[in-house]
Amino acid sequence: MDYIQIKLKPGKEESLRRFHPWVFSGAIQSMTGQPEEGDIVEVCDSQGEFIALGHYQIGTITVRVLTFTPENIDIEFYKTRLRAAYNVRQIAGLIDGSYNNTYRLVHGEGDNLPGLIVDIYDKTAVMQAHTPGMHYARHLVAQAVKEVMGDTLQAIFYKSETTLPYKARLDPVNEYLWGSDCGNIATERGLKFHVDWLKGQKTGFFIDQRENRALVEHYAQGRSVLNMFCYTGGFSFAALRGGAKLVHSVDSSSKAIDLTNKNVALNFPDDSRHQAFAEDAFKFLEHMESIYDLIILDPPAFAKHKNVLHNALQGYRKLNALAFEKIQTGGLLFTFSCSQVVNKNDFRLAIFSAAAQARRKVRILHQLVQPADHPVNIYHPEGEYLKGLVLYVE
Ligand code: SAH
């Protein structure tokens, strides 16, 4: 295939030679034509030597690399990448029949498919494009997913209404690319939940907290648990199975509270240990009594861009300080940040300040990260986004 070539300025090929998968607009010297958004382009060094093929897009990140080898980007290409991705999930023990049928099959750059997310909920794959290139490739990708997954899958739902760049004017619709509604109850580590891929946040569930929920379950025995920012209640039913004395779930969205109640009932019908409250986190923490000895804080990304980093860190400090002030002696605080722009050290510093402000004695028991089905491409450290700390508070 003949693609439009993008020639880089001298020296600007270095990060790509080290397999970093992005070309920034400032690195470009010239182009042999004007590509359309979503086109596949060839990236060359200043001498015209081949470096990579990738999806073109208008913006700071101009090309997202699909391959560093000259090859056809066809169904076989996608199938090979998908098989490799599937293999990793299998090795990690995440594909486990009726015990665990919820996992992320494709995690963008982490699976060498920038701009693409595929989450599996039992027999349904929910596919999300973050780039025009992946949007245009959606039917090819869906066909590849279908062929690689075989009988295990019955439907592919495409959900990119909110994830594609607005300026690209692609007007994507959320729709089934294959099959139709085949039930929306999936299982994580033996615990059931409803997934609302039609209207829910992300693809319907926060799959990335699976192992951290298992850790909450491990510590929950006999504890009074507050699950703040509960969304679909994943941490709540893990704590209930772990033997918690009581579990209170809080989220500002009443829809999230309804979902949490529904999901708890699915696993623990009529369990009086659980109660859910639709309330703002800060208000709840300010007014609550000091009855909890296990608190989970899993807020939405406070910073989506670097220029709001300072405010985000203040937000984490304030939130965590409230929890440190109220948590019982001997309590455990599970605290998270899913903001990509907040690095591990910044986050820890914000928590450190919060602990000092509340004058509590605090020890770090665990440092948590994203699980194996959200892999980090070693050449793309930007892919590391989930950070968590488990703190023992005296
Ligand atoms: N812990 C969840 C995921 C949290 S997503 C899980 O395991 O699935 C973040 C949640 O925070 C969303 O459900 C959102 O409705 C809620 N939220 C956002 N701002 C909030 C606020 N100020 N107070 C309480 N909840 C809030």
Quote the pLDDT of residue 329.
Answer: 98
Quote the pLDDT of residue 97.
Answer: 87
Quote the pLDDT of residue 282.
Answer: 97
Between the CA of 298 and the centroid of ligand 1 the distance, in Å, is: 7
Whether 307 has a pLDDT exceeding 80, the answer reads no
Quote the pLDDT of residue 202.
Answer: 81
- Cα 285 to Cα 282: distance, rounded to the nearest angstrom: 5
| Closest by Cα among 176, 203, 193 to 104 | 203
Show the tokens assigned to 171. Answer: 């007007």
- Cα 340 to Cα 347: distance, rounded to the nearest angstrom: 11
pLDDT band for position 66 (cuts 50, 70, 90): very high
Counting ligand 1 atoms within 8 A of each CB, the residue from 205, 208, 251 with the most, and so the one to mutate, is 251
Whether 46 has a pLDDT exceeding 90, the answer reads yes
Whether 298 has a pLDDT exceeding 90, the answer reads yes
- Residue 205 CA: which ligand 1 atom is closest? 8
Own/partner contacts of 98-101, CB < 8 Å, gap of 24 or more, are: 98/187, 99/187, 99/189, 99/190, 100/187, 100/188, 100/189, 100/190, 101/186, 101/187
Q: pLDDT tens digit string along 117-157?
A: 999 999 999 999 999 999 999 999 999 999 999 999 999 99
Show the tokens assigned to 76. Answer: 């076989």
Quote the pLDDT of residue 374.
Answer: 98
Q: Where are the beta strands (DSSP E) in the chain?
A: 4-8, 22-24, 28-31, 40-44, 50-56, 61-67, 102-107, 116-121, 124-129, 155-158, 175-178, 185-188, 191-194, 224-228, 246-251, 274-278, 294-297, 331-337, 362-368, 387-393
Q: What is the rounded average pLDDT for all residues in the chain?
A: 95
Residue 302 Cβ inside 6 Å of ligand 1? The answer reads: no
Residue 231 Cβ inside 6 Å of ligand 1? The answer reads: yes
- Residue 300 CA: which ligand 1 atom is closest? 9
- Residue 231 CA: which ligand 1 atom is closest? 13
Between the CA of 296 and the centroid of ligand 1 the distance, in Å, is: 11
Between the CA of 389 and the centroid of ligand 1 the distance, in Å, is: 18
Between the CA of 251 and the centroid of ligand 1 the distance, in Å, is: 5
Q: pLDDT tens digit string along 218-258?
A: 999 999 999 999 999 999 999 999 999 999 999 999 999 99
Whether 169 has a pLDDT exceeding 90, the answer reads no
Mean pLDDT computed over 280-285: 98
Between the CA of 328 and the centroid of ligand 1 the distance, in Å, is: 23
Residue 111 Cβ inside 6 Å of ligand 1? The answer reads: no
Q: What angle do CA 352, 355, 359 make, to 5 degrees?
A: 135
What's this model's pTM, rounded to 2 decimal places?
Answer: 0.96
Asked if 210 contacts 181 with a C-beta cutoff of 8 angstroms, the reply is: no
Mean pLDDT computed over 291-314: 89
Whether 1 has a pLDDT exceeding 80, the answer reads no
301/295: higher pLDDT: 295
Between the CA of 261 and the centroid of ligand 1 the distance, in Å, is: 15
